[in-house]
């Protein structure tokens, strides 16, 4: 069975994700789409120039939506660099541009007959994931956003740095909007099986400082004018591989939660059928309040944008 992935939006993030896919042979067929014809053709040629020095080969197609009909996964990395540079790293600053782009791209995806799963990076990712789902008509559980999969990774990096351990030894979740209203649900965070709240007491850790250190990642991407983002590209490809391989994995992804009436990041079991099961965490009262605030923020900002 061949593995086919589409990457739409070949800016810094999309090109990083595509390179990661080609270099690791994660797809047999890769469809690259961007409005800038010269750019995406150059990317494809560059990837093909890399292949003689890679142990794997990938068939690359450029700017052909019909080639997406039998794709397994489409990654949306459409974005607008200029709008990312805003005073408080507000992901919603891109919405006027990305809302219209998602409607156009979503309509072309629908017209292609695509019936696979979508992984959305495009910000504000919770709202854009919702727009893609509405425009394509794909089942809600077949359209997911990277959401706080990236923020949870940043939390793990900050905790690991504080405790001088490998970041993969940290489990736990950031929840809610992939943006300024997200938060670390410290009640879910464990290090080598021990609740971080116990470790914090024993070692007098400042969890608020750790929360701040975690968020630095996003600021570096925005403030540092990097505008390429290995963190989110890796998260998106990890999601695509989880779907392609069917390795049913518990991940904090942006998925539609009925009880909040919006897409937001909350752990779910992701596998070949997209979001296969939605989990229920035992959150503290304070965490539940923060999650409601974040859900309300997403819905309010979305409603404002449609006025």
Site string for ligand 2OP, 139-158 (x = CB under 6 A): -----------x--------
| Nearest-approach distance from CB 215 to ligand 2OP, in angstroms | 9
Q: Which is nearer to ligand 2OP, 3 or 91 (CB)?
A: 91
Phi-psi region of 185 (alpha: psi -120 to 50; beta: other; left: phi over 0): beta
Counting every residue, how long is the chain? 307
Q: Which is nearer to ligand 2OP, 4 or 238 (CB)?
A: 238
Site string for ligand 2OP, 67-106 (x = CB under 6 A): ------------------------x---------------
- How far is residue 157 from each of residues 38, 173, 269, measured CA to CA in Å? 37, 12, 23
Rounded to an integer, what is the distance from CA 248 to the centroid of its chain? 17
Beta bridge partners of 253: 266
CA distance 28 to 238: 16
208 is in an annotated binding site: no
- Annotated active-site residue 19? The verdict is no
CA distance 151 to 172: 11
Q: Is position 232 an interface residue for ligand 2OP (rule: CB under 6 A)?
A: yes
166 is in an annotated binding site: no
The correct pick among 106, 116, 176, 218 for binding ligand 2OP (CB under 6 A) is: 218
Q: Which is nearer to ligand 2OP, 47 or 132 (CB)?
A: 132
CA distance 238 to 265: 16
Strand, helix or coil for residue 269: strand
Catalytic residues: 178
Residues that bind ligand 2OP (CB under 6 A): 91, 123, 150, 178, 218, 221, 229, 232
């Amino acid at each position: 069975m061949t593995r086919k992935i589409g990457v739409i939006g070949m800016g810094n993030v999309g090109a990083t994700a595509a390179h990661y896919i080609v270099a690791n042979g994660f797809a047999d067929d890769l469809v690259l789409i961007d409005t800038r014809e010269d750019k995406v053709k150059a990317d494809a040629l560059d990837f093909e120039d890399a292949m003689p020095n890679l142990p794997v080969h990938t068939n690359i197609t450029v700017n052909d939506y019909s080639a997406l009909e039998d794709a397994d996964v489409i990654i949306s990395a459409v974005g607008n660099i200029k709008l990312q540079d805003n005073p408080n790293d507000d992901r919603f600053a891109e919405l006027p541009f990305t809302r219209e782009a998602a409607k156009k791209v979503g309509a072309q995806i629908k017209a292609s007959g695509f019936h696979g799963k979508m992984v959305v990076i495009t910000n504000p990712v919770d709202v854009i994931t919702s727009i893609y789902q509405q425009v394509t008509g794909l089942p809600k559980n077949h359209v997911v956003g990277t959401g706080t999969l990236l923020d949870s990774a940043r939390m793990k990096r900050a905790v690991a740095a504080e405790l001088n351990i490998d970041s993969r030894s940290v489990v736990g979740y950031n929840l809610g909007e992939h943006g300024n209203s997200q938060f670390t649900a410290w009640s879910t965070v464990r290090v080598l099986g021990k609740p971080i709240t116990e470790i914090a007491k024993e070692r007098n850790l400042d969890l608020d400082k750790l929360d701040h250190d975690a968020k630095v990642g996003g600021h570096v991407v925005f403030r540092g004018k990097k505008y390429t983002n290995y963190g989110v590209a890796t998260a998106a490809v990890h999601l695509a591989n989880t779907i392609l391989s069917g390795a049913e994995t518990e991940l904090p992804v942006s998925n539609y939660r009925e009880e909040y009436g919006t897409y937001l990041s909350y752990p779910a079991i992701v596998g070949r059928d997209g979001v296969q099961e939605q989990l229920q965490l035992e959150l503290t009262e304070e965490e539940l309040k923060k999650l409601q605030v974040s859900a309300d923020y997403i819905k309010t900002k979305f409603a404002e944008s449609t006025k």
